[in-house]
């Protein structure tokens, strides 16, 4: 287990890494049973963990970083050929369709090989197949890790079919995405102001007991949100910026800085996984602060089901003491709701069932 020497470690629990961030050694030094319990506990208590010794070779990541860094170094008019985001493609500052903004530029790609090949023609005009190969190799490696984590979760939760989660993202019609975010150094942030879309400014806000108050001197790179999909795997360079909202010892939610670790993957529970587990696993809220003097490059794989997939709490997660919390919905329905709301909205709350409905929903799902 890779942990600070001062951190106590108990079998079956995840070790802490910087400010209470749990770390899970995916090489399973204590055996698969212990590993599945570690993963399940980290996702239940934090909705987030740092995966080390994960088995993803460094080559695909290094090649993707080089390819995307070369793209972001292009002249503005060359990058704009891959945009504007709809929501896929190249975007700058503007996030979504409802006024959210951050100090970043990004590429958002559908993870299917056909979609990557189509978008590559506007990203690498010299050799589109070169970019497609790099992206597909990376997606293949990270999808395998995502499936392993989801299967471990299924085992740790005691599901009858531990592969219930991973089957959703390995379907040929999976709606998984790959997002590459480039946060320029704070001292050169003005270089993004190359069109009307990029002339928006933003301010970071922090959560405390009195709600949201501005924090002086900080720039928001990507605002507070939860990920809507099943699970997200984030990898970044050695520049800090990622923060997660976690309860402290007093039970109050505080923003915790996640120490950068280019060799690790940071795993987020998404909204769909919270719904599938009837709230046993928590979709973590997080954000990125872009105040560093060096550029930050991050890549996130969002593992999602097919658009037609029906999302409902698994029977094992519904009991008399824990009735069904969310009504069934499709991924298409949830995406439409997501696109109609601001980034920080707690979308899953809109799918909660009332007290009169919960027993009927739970009964129907178990039958």
Residue range 97-127, pLDDT digits in tens: 999 999 999 999 999 999 999 999 999 999 9
What is the pLDDT at residue 204? 37
Pairing, β 48-52 against β 21-25: parallel
Count of domains for the chain: 1
DSSP element (H, E) containing 133: helix 128-156
pTM for the full predicted model: 0.87
CA dist 17 and 256 (Å) reads 11
Asked, for residue 204, whether it belongs to a domain, the answer is no
Cβ 337 vs Cβ 350: under 8 Å: yes
Asked, for residue 29, whether it belongs to a domain, the answer is no
**Token pair of 33, please?**
């049973």
Asked, for residue 153, whether it belongs to a domain, the answer is yes
DSSP conformation class of 11: T
Asked, for residue 235, whether it belongs to a domain, the answer is yes
**Domain residue limits at 272:** 38-184+218-344
- Using a 10 angstrom Cβ sphere, with 0-12 exposed, 13-18 middle and 19 or more buried, the burial of residue 308 is exposed
Asked, for residue 74, whether it belongs to a domain, the answer is yes
What is the pLDDT at residue 364? 39
Asked, for residue 61, whether it belongs to a domain, the answer is yes
What is the pLDDT at residue 279? 97
Specify the CATH number for the domain of residue 245. Answer: 2.60.120.330
CA dist 15 and 3 (Å) reads 6
Asked, for residue 202, whether it belongs to a domain, the answer is no
Q: Distances from the Cα of 346 to the Cαs of 147, 228, 351, in angstroms?
A: 26, 10, 10
What is the pLDDT at residue 196? 42
What is the pLDDT at residue 192? 53
What is the pLDDT at residue 20? 79
What is the pLDDT at residue 354? 76
Low-confidence ranges of the chain (pLDDT < 50): 1-14, 190, 194-214, 216, 358-367
Asked, for residue 8, whether it belongs to a domain, the answer is no
Per-position b or e across 268-286, b if 16+ CB within 10 A of its CB: bbbbbbbbbbbbbbbbbbb
């Amino acid at each position: 287990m890779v942990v600070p020497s001062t951190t106590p470690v108990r079998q079956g629990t995840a070790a802490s890494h910087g400010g209470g961030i749990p770390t899970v050694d995916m090489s399973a030094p204590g055996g698969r049973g212990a590993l599945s319990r570690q993963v399940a506990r980290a996702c239940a208590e934090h909705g987030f963990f740092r995966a080390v010794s994960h088995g993803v070779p460094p080559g695909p990541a290094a090649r993707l970083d080089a390819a995307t860094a070369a793209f972001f170094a292009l002249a503005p008019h060359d990058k704009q050929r891959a945009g504007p985001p709809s929501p896929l493609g190249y975007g700058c500052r503007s996030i979504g369709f409802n006024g959210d903004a951050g100090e970043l530029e990004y590429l958002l790609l559908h993870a299917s090989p056909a979609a990557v090949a189509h978008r590559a023609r506007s990203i690498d005009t010299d050799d589109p197949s070169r970019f497609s190969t790099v992206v597909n190799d990376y997606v293949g490696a990270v999808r395998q890790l995502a499936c392993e984590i989801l299967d471990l979760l299924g085992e740790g939760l005691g599901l009858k079919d531990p592969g219930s989660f991973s089957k959703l993202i390995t379907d040929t019609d999976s709606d998984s995405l790959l997002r590459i975010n480039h946060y320029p150094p704070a001292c050169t942030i003005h270089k993004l102001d190359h069109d009307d879309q990029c002339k928006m400014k933003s301010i970071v806000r922090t959560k405390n007991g009195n709600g949201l108050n501005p924090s002086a001197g900080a720039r928001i790179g990507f605002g507070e949100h939860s990920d809507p999909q099943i699970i997200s795997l984030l990898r970044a360079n050695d520049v800090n910026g990622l923060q997660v909202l976690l309860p402290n010892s007093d039970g109050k939610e505080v923003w915790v800085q996640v120490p950068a670790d280019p060799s690790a993957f940071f795993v987020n529970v998404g909204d769909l996984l919270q719904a599938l587990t009837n709230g046993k696993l928590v979709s973590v809220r997080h954000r990125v602060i872009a105040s560093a003097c060096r550029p930050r490059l991050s890549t996130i794989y969002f593992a999602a089901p097919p658009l037609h997939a029906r999302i409902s709490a698994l029977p094992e997660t519904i009991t008399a003491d824990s009735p069904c919390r969310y009504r069934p919905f499709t991924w298409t329905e949830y995406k439409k709701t997501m696109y109609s709301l601001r980034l920080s909205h707690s979308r899953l709350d809109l799918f909660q069932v009332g007290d009169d409905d919960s027993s009927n929903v739970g009964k129907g799902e178990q039958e």
